[in-house]
Structure 1
């Protein structure tokens, strides 16, 4: 499992200002030429004091299920290949999920449901995301979120969402040459994604499209970018899954549609 001792410190984050300054994400993201570099810069961010305090607090809760485990307790970078055709956008890391493991959708029940669906479609190497060193690989798929730190009650504040946006916008820019589809899990992710897409160079319809499970919207080209298809899906939260609002079949249908449009189904 990754720990804070495993961070890539090859580049001084101070070169982009104080990591605790709200301006740090934009300064650090703007000039990064690679996804690997962007992922490394993300992990240094401390621009939202409430989220920094919460992610560190959760790392010391010591729940029985994870007793003795070392928490990542940092912003969580994206996960998946740099030439992905399909991007899955969630909400934010879970306090005892990705905040613990350091990898998107890894270590909680929401991730169990998502990775099982991807594995069933041949897009993930295994169905059980356990830790960042479990050998999991994704084929043609990358995962990200509009907020990179675990928020209290899974509810980031609007200002925190906006401060974090440059990370996602730059990630979209770097993925643009190969990206063809995006699956957005939940209304928060859908709403947060729209300004990031606009900042990354895609044309948004007016009025902006509303979120809905099964929604599909095609964005126009600009600056040489190909059209991009957005797919809406209820979030893979425990509440949605336990109540049956989102079933494994419903999730697989949306993922299959997006993967087919991206040209990555086996």
Structure 2
């Protein structure tokens, strides 16, 4: 699936943007060779915990080729994953830096960097079949899901329903600390967490302790943490 995903050119606006950014670059990364392609999920294929973000950052994952790698959002996320025992190191700088996740996979509803970090509804829907496939492959082992931000929450709920999990009516609302147990072919725990964007982390809306608390709760229900 990942091999097919990185060749996708389904969304003309996203293809043009990700490739434009990869050519023009940011001055601080002028000597880097940008990935400039769709970014696949990162982590083991038999993960019991899935973290769902929004989309790759233009000069982060779109540069390095790995989810949440090479930018401050990733610095914040991986430091917290390491702090609770779900990553072997607290930093993520490049695709070959030795980072490994323990029973945890990271993905997103949109796999190409969007202008202004805002994919359209059509782009989200074009990308949905990748998330459908990823959930289907993870279903035998998946026990917990953390969604970073409202966009991911809204994108993921219909995917979970399509994969056989029963979504309560009315649909659960996104919020930091939201927690819903979903039943179906298997039982999973769904958690909401503010996105690790600088808009949230620099303002203190999301603190390391807040993120670590959600990660620890999800890690326990996934059977990864005591």
Give the structure-2-normalised TM-score: 0.98
Residue in structure 1 matched with residue 86 of structure 2 by the alignment: 123
Q: Which of 163, 167, 186 in structure 2 is aligned with 1:226?
A: 186
Give the deviation of 1:61 after TM superposition.
2.2
Per-residue CA shift, 1:195-215, capped at 9, x if unaligned?
111222211111111000000
Q: Which of 198, 216, 224 in structure 2 is aligned with 1:256?
A: 216
Q: Which of 169, 176, 194 in structure 1 is aligned with 2:132?
A: 169
Give the deviation of 1:62 after TM superposition.
2.5
Equivalent-residue separation in structure 1 for 2:110 and 2:84 (angstroms): 27
Asked if 1:179 is matched to 2:139, the reply is no
Give the deviation of 1:64 after TM superposition.
2.1
> Larger radius of gyration, structure 1 or 2?
1
The higher relative CO (CA closer than 8 Å, separation ≥ 6) is in 2
Moved over 6 A (4+): none
Give the deviation of 1:260 after TM superposition.
0.7
Per-residue CA shift, 1:137-193, capped at 9, x if unaligned?
000100000000000110000000001001001100100000000000000000000
Residue in structure 2 matched with residue 29 of structure 1 by the alignment: none
* Aligned alpha-carbon RMSD (Å): 0.8
Per-residue CA shift, 1:51-90, capped at 9, x if unaligned?
0000011112232211111111110000000111100000
Equivalent-residue separation in structure 2 for 1:51 and 1:64 (angstroms): 22
Q: Which stretches in structure 2 are left out of the alignment for 5+ residues? A: none
Equivalent-residue separation in structure 1 for 2:207 and 2:61 (angstroms): 22
Q: Which stretches in structure 1 are left out of the alignment for 5+ residues? A: 1-37
Equivalent-residue separation in structure 1 for 2:90 and 2:198 (angstroms): 17
Asked if 1:236 is matched to 2:199, the reply is no
More displaced stretch, 169-178 vs 200-209: 200-209
Equivalent-residue separation in structure 1 for 2:187 and 2:4 (angstroms): 29
Residue in structure 1 matched with residue 60 of structure 2 by the alignment: 97
Give the structure-1-normalised TM-score: 0.84
The answer on whether the counterparts of 2:19 and 2:36 sit within 8 Å (CA) in structure 1 is: yes
Per-residue CA shift, 1:211-251, capped at 9, x if unaligned?
00000011111xxx211110000000001001000000000
Residue in structure 2 matched with residue 114 of structure 1 by the alignment: 77
